[in-house]
Structure 1
């Protein structure tokens, strides 16, 4: 399983609403993420709007393509787009910047 980390910028004036939306992620959205190959997916949000995401997947490109093919993802991305800065009109899930892993502490 590969580990991926990414960042996006949430509009600082929309932080509270963004957090609230993620307290109740639609069950069909959660199911689609699982079915398309997203595992151990977490989001972390700094108080200035820096969003850091972490996800494990065998192939993130394939997982993203599988999500892009779902109706629920199209609805979710359309609703979430207004929360982000710097996406140049692209959906948030097509706009994040992947960060290279430079260190990983293993269990052994």
Structure 2
């Protein structure tokens, strides 16, 4: 098992829309993530900067960001592109974060 974290950027004023879309996350997307060993996935928002901070545990060593070649992830990225900073393929601009401390 591995835990990874990364950050993304929400466009200003879209906190509630982001929350709404994730509260209604597509079941087929959740299934894809789980089937690829991704679980215990949380996203936090720093409201001062609109930075999204994501943490997920992985059984397979594959991140949600590694599933961009699947049709469902491509559709999700397109669905979210109007409220987030994205790359030209609609994938979220995502920056991996380096772990520096862990307390067990």
Whether the TM-score (by the shorter chain) exceeds 0.5 is yes
TM-score computed with the length of structure 1 as normaliser: 0.82
Q: Specify which structure has the higher proportion of helix.
A: 1
Let me know the Cα RMSD of the aligned residues. Answer: 1.7
Distance 1:70 1:55 in 2: 19
Residue 53 to residue 102, structure 1, CA distance change in 2 (3 Å): same
Cα deviation for residue 16 of structure 1 reads 1.4
Cα deviation for residue 69 of structure 1 reads 3.3
Cα deviation for residue 5 of structure 1 reads 0.7
1:47 aligns with 2:47: yes
Q: Is the CA contact (8 Å cut-off) linking 2:36 and 2:62 kept in structure 1?
A: no
Distance 1:39 1:103 in 2: 21
Which ranges of 4 or more aligned residues in structure 1 deviate by more than 4 Å?
A: none
Gaps of 5+ in 2: none
Residue 88 to residue 73, structure 1, CA distance change in 2 (3 Å): closer
Aligned to 1:101: 99
Cα deviation for residue 11 of structure 1 reads 0.6
